[in-house]
Structure 1
Amino acid sequence: MRSLLLAVCLVLALHFGEAAVSCNTVIADLYPCLSYVTQGGPVPSLCCNGLTTLNSQAQTSADRQGVCRCIKSAIGGLTLSPGTIDNALSLPSKCGINLPYKFSPSTNCESIK
């Protein structure tokens, strides 16, 4: 599963490479969250640090939309259980971060300002 996620992200990095926040950066920042999303349990502090970093890097609407598209495409290519999706959706609140998008395959990234 990790190799599939990384492969998807590499393809996305080529597509969205012009954004200030690259898909490689998005994946690097979110990689520590993978264990929580797939297995539950406590959220690793490195995951929350990555979310905070990612949130501070995506300052413009274009940046936030690009980050959203990277996340949406990466998780959209995986088979996720309802519990896994719930874990992903709960990450920002568990880390005390307010993101302008949800970690969901149904998120409309173009609506993010």
Structure 2
Amino acid sequence: MVVVAPYTEAAISCRQVQGRLAPCMNYLLKGGAPSFPCCGGVKTLYAAAKTTADRKTACICLKQLVRAIKRLNLSYAAALPAKCSVSIPYKISPSTDCSMYASLLYFVFAYA
């Protein structure tokens, strides 16, 4: 007997990812400590990524976002989840392979 999981579309969009992280722009450009609204957005985004499709989409959107912002400090981007007390199994970077983490993220989110 073979069990196949149904295909699901992501409920998260890149527009939502950008909106949630908009309060983080000062931190991503200048460093220091992320603001309360920034960490609130990070935590909301983390909680919203419930399915594998959501987590993959969020990863892809984060990757696109760091590529699009030319003056963004990649070290600050990579440190953002931990600074907001959120643990994700990849570094926010333009070189992240999101397909590699889609199934791994299930275990991190489901058993964290």
- TM-score when scaled to structure 2? 0.77
Aligned alpha-carbon RMSD (Å): 1.5
Q: Which runs of 5+ in 2 are unaligned?
A: 1-8, 104-112
Structure 1 unaligned blocks of 5 or more: 1-17
1:85 aligns with 2:68: no
Matched residue type, 1:32? P
Q: How many residues are treated as equivalent by the alignment?
A: 94
Q: What is the match of residue 40 of structure 2?
A: 49
Larger-gyration structure (1/2): 2
Q: Which of residues 85, 88, 95 is equivalent to 1:96?
A: 85
Shift of 1:90: 0.5
User: C-alpha displacement at 1:80, in angstroms?
Assistant: 4.3
Q: Following superposition, which runs of at least 4 residues in structure 1 exceed 6 angstroms of deviation?
A: none
CA shift digits 1:7-52 (9 cap, x unpaired):
xxxxxxxxxxx52001111011111111001011221011111011
- What secondary structure is seen at the aligned counterpart in 1 of 2:93? coil
Q: Aligned pair 1:33/2:24, yes or no? A: yes
Describe the superposition over 1:60-98 as per-residue Cα deviations: whole angstroms up to 9, x where unpaired.
1111110111111121233346xx100111111111111
- The alpha carbon displacement at 1:100 in A equals 3.5
Q: Which residue identity lines up with residue 32 of structure 2 in the other structure?
A: G
